[in-house]
């Protein structure tokens, strides 16, 4: 048989195979396709906290990473899809039994934000920094562009008013309540993580493919069973148990940590510092992300301060936290530098230092000391290269110094970081194009200046 004849027989064989299939098999095949796409497309990708650096050109050199829990889950869903396909082709009756692993995987996918808090606190903190600082930079650009008087390049200044994020004190998370088991509680957690703007707007397409595949698979399985509606009604009470059990396994460490926190609070009120320290360290064991909270470290630092322990880094974190409370950011930076000298690898240390340097730079910039402000922004980027607010600070310093090419390069780093948020804010992109237009104009390249300015006026082309 020639290759051409074989090729012509393929549609006929496919039609014969499809006619022998139950209609529900098509839903199952569609679910396998969704699961394969889910395994292929990353879910939560962001710059690696450890490998992303400042390159030799002085700009951001991004090395991407993914939440490990998301990687494990999407690979698991891909393997689950492969097993489904094999059983479907073999016409095995065991396919119906896979509905329970499918429900468990669905629960795990929904519970992923909680898992990330427990198992990847460093990536959670990185996400917070990118989200909150891109947002602050964007809001400041928009404020200055809307309220310009003569020349936005001259009048641009920082708005130091937004409340700072010095901790991972997440809504519905650090304050234990059973409300976090509900949808509203989960959305609150996602929003505090910077993973949403109300919904999953930073999740990659793979997350959506995975959820769709698991749900379509359940429709296909119940439709394939003889008396499928009866099976669905019988399973219906057990499905929530299956989903909640996944949440419970993840939330148990959180509940234990909260218990130790309550015991520590009672010990502090009784003046039993030794017992309080033991319990606070137990909280840190069960809830790793809380180690990134400056406020939590300050609770330990209040005890070490009373004991006069000057070799304890928490003592200086307590002082830094007090300085933050009165907006003395340079004082906070000095206290944090002393803490860093004692414990440079402490979780959260580089983020606290980076934040202190950024806020110090903002204060100094607003007094007109642009070169000094730039030094603080460079210090911040040495600790947290993905700090969009520090890049924005460097950009508007260069605007004041009339180096539009450098301003455009630094603003572009904010645009690059914004791409990890899953939604577009126009001000950073607009300022980037304006700075490029001014740079071309200063070089005498009026054609290129006109092109960038025209693009700035046409956001739908971005």
pTM beyond cutoff 0.75: yes
Range in 31-40, 288-297, 387-396, 442-451 with the lowest mean pLDDT: 288-297
pLDDT exceeds cutoff 70 at 178? no
At 123, is the pLDDT very low, low, confident or very high (cuts 50, 70, 90)?
confident
Range in 116-125, 287-296, 353-362 with the lowest mean pLDDT: 116-125
Measured distance CA(388)–CA(355) in Å, rounded: 11
| pLDDT, tens digit, 9 for 90 and up, residues 329-343 | 999 999 999 999 999
pLDDT computed for residue 157 by the predictor: 60
Q: Give just the sign of the alpha carbon dihedral 249, 254, 257, 259.
A: negative
- The arithmetic mean of pLDDT across residues 92-113, rounded, is 80
pLDDT computed for residue 145 by the predictor: 66
| pLDDT, tens digit, 9 for 90 and up, residues 84-99 | 888 888 776 777 788 8
pLDDT exceeds cutoff 60 at 107? yes
pLDDT computed for residue 201 by the predictor: 42
- The arithmetic mean of pLDDT across residues 35-43, rounded, is 84
pLDDT computed for residue 247 by the predictor: 65
pLDDT exceeds cutoff 90 at 106? no
What b/e readout covers 357-378, taking b as 16+ CB neighbours within 10 angstroms? bbbbbbbbbeeeebeebbebbb
pLDDT exceeds cutoff 70 at 434? yes
Q: How many CB atoms lie within 10 A of CB 266?
A: 12
Which residue's entry shows tokens 């393997």?
79
At 406, is the pLDDT very low, low, confident or very high (cuts 50, 70, 90)?
very high
């Amino acid at each position: 048989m020639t290759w051409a004849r074989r090729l012509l027989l393929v549609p006929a064989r496919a039609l014969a195979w499809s006619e022998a299939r139950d209609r529900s098999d098509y839903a199952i095949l569609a679910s396998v396709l969704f699961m394969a796409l889910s395994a292929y497309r990353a879910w939560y990708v962001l710059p690696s906290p450890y490998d992303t650096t400042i390159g030799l050109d002085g700009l951001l050199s991004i090395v991407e990473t993914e939440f490990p829990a998301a990687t494990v889950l999407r690979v698991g869903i891909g393997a689950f899809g492969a097993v489904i396909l094999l059983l479907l082709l073999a016409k095995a009756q065991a396919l119906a039994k896979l509905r329970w692993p499918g429900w468990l995987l669905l629960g795990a996918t929904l519970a992923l934000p909680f898992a990330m808090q427990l198992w990847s606190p460093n990536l959670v903190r990185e996400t917070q920094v990118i989200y909150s600082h891109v947002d602050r930079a964007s809001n400041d650009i928009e404020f200055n562009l809307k309220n310009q008087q003569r020349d936005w390049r001259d009048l641009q200044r920082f708005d130091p008013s937004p409340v700072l994020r010095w901790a991972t004190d997440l809504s519905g998370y650090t304050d234990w309540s059973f409300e976090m088991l509900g949808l509203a509680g989960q959305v609150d957690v996602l929003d505090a993580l910077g993973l949403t703007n109300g919904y999953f707007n930073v999740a990659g397409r793979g997350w959506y493919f995975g959820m769709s595949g698991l749900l379509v698979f359940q429709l296909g399985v119940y439709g394939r069973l003889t008396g499928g509606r009866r099976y669905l009604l019988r399973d219906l009470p057990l499905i929530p148990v299956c989903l909640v059990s996944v949440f419970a396994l993840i939330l148990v460490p959180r509940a234990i940590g909260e218990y130790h926190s309550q015991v520590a609070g009672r010990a502090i009120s009784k003046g039993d510092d030794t017992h309080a320290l033991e319990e606070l360290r137990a909280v840190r064991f069960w809830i790793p992300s809380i180690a990134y909270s400056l406020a939590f470290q300050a609770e330990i630092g209040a005890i070490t301060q009373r004991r006069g322990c000057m070799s304890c880094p928490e003592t200086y974190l307590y002082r830094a936290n007090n300085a933050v409370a009165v907006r003395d950011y340079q004082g906070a930076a000095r206290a944090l530098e002393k803490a860093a000298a004692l414990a440079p690898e402490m979780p959260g240390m580089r983020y606290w230092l980076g934040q202190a340097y950024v806020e110090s730079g903002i204060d100094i910039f607003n007094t007109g000391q642009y070169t000094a402000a730039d030094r603080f922004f460079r210090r911040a980027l040495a600790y947290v290269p993905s700090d969009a607010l520090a890049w924005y600070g460097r950009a508007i310093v260069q605007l004041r110094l009339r180096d539009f090419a450098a301003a455009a390069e630094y603003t572009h780093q904010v645009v690059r970081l914004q791409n990890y948020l899953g939604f577009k804010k126009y001000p950073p992109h607009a300022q980037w194009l304006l700075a490029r237009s001014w740079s071309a104009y200063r070089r005498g390249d009026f054609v290129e200046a006109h092109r960038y300015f025209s693009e700035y006026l046409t956001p739908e082309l971005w």
